[in-house]
A and B are shown apart, each in its own frame.
Chain A
């Protein structure tokens, strides 16, 4: 549940709710566009997990690197990737933030150091270790933040990366979004030890479990973790306990979980509880909320128009970007 911290202001509350609403409205529209055939491939929605992306991105600085998963629209929007190029990427247009080559699962943006949605479960962790190693070798205070699901904890790359990051005391923020299901396999059906943060502790990685449905709890935990990493004291893992309210992807009949369980989590959804908390505290009116909603919808509409109007990349350019066109500086 979301509890407002002491000294909470109207401005701050509306900002966080606005950021979460942008993600929710963007993705609700994505689901419609998928049905209409404008978005294809796999589409993984973040409904229910928005407090994590928004809480994390309040803390990260522009020099920090972000490694993400295939469920990354929320991370990308909260990181500051503009909605137009993001939607154009989902359409596969050249104006997309990855040039249209990646699609929903592979969002990249060099300007915000958003190093990709990685669609290999666990594949992003070693990458984040290396990004953090680069920062350490350069003597910067930047960190590498790495999102992954609890399913990744079953992969060898999770364990190898925990060990390496702890061994070399690297500034990595391991952000485990534990939504309880690896696609359709419940955590209890795949892990002998279901306490993910305990696995990290075993490697000497500082770790904690956090209520991932509460944006303030996420922000506070991330702030403390980032301070730890920036100070050169090594990696931190946060197990952000959350729930995916929609299907895994657009092909999922959700045979593996009860509707009652989904509804129970829906009542704890991060947007619902933040909205209620802000209204109860007298920091937001229904009119304020409707205004935020209209703002978000207008931004989404503009993004859809941008994506729809954008050009396809000519087939003659098919072989571009297989190798680099110029050396990175």
Chain B
């Protein structure tokens, strides 16, 4: 098991689901096209044959009913994994997630926790236009009672689902559409990752890039380019969007004294705004430059490739934002 294995992000998620189904008879998967079709993004391919229709349940196109049913089944002692095709479609289940899943534990004085896991694809990059490509993580991260995570690596794609299933609270797991085909090494460490806590993915001294999801890889590309200019970037991958890991963010910013937040959500009312404000509240006097933000341009995601790329927080925009922080020195 210590030998690293090369798999895709999609396969990592599938492994996590398969392991959970094998390990715990209370676990089942339900959602649109998760069975016969094999999953909209082929994540659950093969699981129907392996586990049968009771545990791999194709649902009607009734997001509110099947998400609510997942919440009810969790109350009833099961451990459901509910798949929603994309975050855009999850709007049809927002009532159940925000008004029910997030509130029952509190309204019942702790008597009815809701251990449901809700997975959904998020983000752009596949030319799916304005009803399949948005990044609405911040909406969920706004809500007390939910836990919100977004694995960006192969290890996290497998390990965080396991951790989500072990959590007694409702966990929203965002899977970036653009990462499903990404290949990488699955290490043995994947089996013991935590659900919360940010991770430093690249150590550097000159600027901190705070990011999550698919933008991690944009930041890593930007960091390579910046290294060529003599700027050594540190990258913090948030992983957990609620709760946020202030300690890791602030430790990095206090070291580098500069911060750029890279967020595939729109800038207005964004996670980037929240992270930036936390830095201002807690590390203002440690900063050598204003905080920068690189977010998706404020347009519904367009279909043509060149416009979609231009809307997203790509490496060139990140590099430019970092350069602006250093321009203040001159």
Q: Enumerate chain A interface residues (CB-CB to B < 8 A).
A: 65, 67, 96-102, 106, 108-110, 115-116, 118, 120, 123, 125-135, 137-138, 144, 156-157, 160-161, 163-164, 167-168, 320-328
Which residue numbers of B lie inside 8 Å of A, CB to CB? 28, 54, 57, 59-60, 62, 64-78, 80, 95-96, 99-100, 104-113, 115, 144-145, 147, 166, 168-169
Partner of B68, one of A106, A126, A144, A320: A126
Asked if B96 and A326 sit within 8 Å, CB to CB, the answer is no
How long is the Cα–Cα vector from A125 to B68 in the complex, in angstroms? 8
Question: Least Cβ distance of A270 to chain B in Å?
Answer: 30
Q: Which residues of B contact A164 (CB under 8 A)?
A: 59-60, 62, 65-66, 69
Most A CB within 10 A of own CB, among B59, B67, B111:
B111
CB B102 to nearest CB in A, in angstroms, measures: 9
Please indicate the chain B residues that have their CB under 8 angstroms from the CB of A115 in the complex.
Answer: 72, 75, 104, 112
CA–CA, A67 to B108, complex, Å? 13
Decide: A130 and B75 in contact? CB cutoff 8 A.
yes
Q: A-B pairs with the 8 shortest C-beta distances?
A: A130-B72, A99-B109, A126-B68, A134-B76, A160-B65, A324-B113, A108-B108, A130-B69
Flag if A134 contacts B72 (CB, 8 Å): yes
Q: B75 touching A327 by the CB < 8 A rule?
A: no
The closest CB in chain B to the CB of A137 belongs to B78
Query: How far, in Å, is A91 (CB) from chain B's closest CB?
Result: 14
B104 touches A163 (CB 8 A): no
Q: Is the CB of A328 within 8 A of B72?
A: no
Q: How far is the CB of B141 from chain A (nearest CB, A)?
A: 14
Tell me, in angstroms, the Cα distance from A128 to B68 when the chains sit together: 8
Interface SS of chain A: mixed
Q: Does B111 contact A133, Cβ atoms closer than 8 Å? A: no
Residue in B59, B96, B105 whose CB lies within 8 Å of A321: B105
Q: A322-B144, A326-B168 are in contact. Are A130 and B109 (CB under 8 A)?
A: no
Q: Which residue of B lies closest to A161 (CB)?
A: B65
Q: How far is the CA of A233 from the CA of B9 in the complex (A)?
A: 42
- In the bound assembly, the distance between CA atoms of A326 and B106 in angstroms comes to 13
A65 to B299, CA, bound (A): 46
Nearest residue, chain A, Cβ from B61: A160
Q: In the assembled complex, which residues on chain A have CB atoms less than 8 Å from the CB atom of B74?
A: 130, 134
Say yes or no: B64 contacts A160, CB within 8 Å.
yes
User: Smallest distance from the beta carbon of A158 to chain B beta carbons, Å?
Assistant: 10
CB distance from A22 to the nearest CB of B (A): 23
Cβ contact within 8 Å between B64 and A157:
yes
CA of A327 to CA of B108, assembled, Å: 15
Residue of B nearest to A101 (CB): B109
Shortest Cβ distance from A327 into B: residue: B168
Asked whether B70 lies within 8 Å of A130 as measured between CB atoms, the reply is yes
Q: Assess whether A133 is in contact with B60, with CB atoms less than 8 Å apart.
A: no
Least CB distance, A276 to chain B, in whole angstroms = 40
B62 contacts A163, CB within 8 Å?
yes
A134 engages B112 (CB within 8 Å): no
Most B CB atoms within 10 A — which of A65, A126, A164?
A126
Cβ of A126 and Cβ of B65 under 8 Å apart?
Answer: yes
Q: Are A127 and B111 in contact (CB under 8 A)?
A: no
Nearest CB of B to A112, in Å: 11
Contacts of A161 in B (CB 8 A): 65, 68
Interface centre among B66, B72, B110, B145, by most chain A C-beta atoms within 10 angstroms, is B72
Measured CA separation A98–B104 after assembly (Å): 10
CA distance A168 to B147 in the complex (A): 30
Please give the distance in Å from A326's CB to the nearest CB on chain B. 7
**In the complex the two chains form, what is the Cα distance from A125 to B169 in whole Å?**
21
CB–CB A133/B76 < 8 A: yes
With A115-B75, A130-B76 known as contacts, the answer to whether A323 contacts B109 (CB < 8 A) is no
Q: Are A130 and B105 in contact (CB under 8 A)?
A: no
Given contacts A120-B100, A130-B75, contact A321 B68 (CB under 8 A): no
A33 to B109, CA, bound (A): 23
**Chain A contacts for B64, CB-based, 8 A:** 126, 156-157, 160
Which A residues touch B76, using CB under 8 A? 65, 130-135, 138, 144
On whether the beta carbons of A138 and B108 are closer than 8 Å, the reply is no
B23 to chain A, nearest CB (A): 15
> Which residues of B lie under 8 Å from residue A134 when comparing CB positions?
72-78
Q: Are B110 and A99 interface neighbours, CB within 8 A?
A: yes
Given contacts A99-B108, A327-B115, contact A163 B60 (CB under 8 A): yes
Query: B105 contacts A323, CB within 8 Å?
Result: yes
State whether A137 and B169 are in contact (beta carbons under 8 Å apart), knowing that A108-B111, A126-B96, A322-B144 are contacts in the complex.
Answer: no
21 contacts between A and B (CB under 8 A): A65-B76, A101-B106, A102-B109, A108-B108, A110-B111, A115-B75, A116-B107, A129-B72, A130-B74, A131-B76, A137-B73, A138-B78, A144-B76, A157-B64, A157-B68, A160-B64, A164-B60, A321-B106, A323-B113, A324-B110, A324-B168
Known A-B contacts A126-B71, A131-B75; A324 and B105 likewise in contact (beta carbons under 8 Å): yes
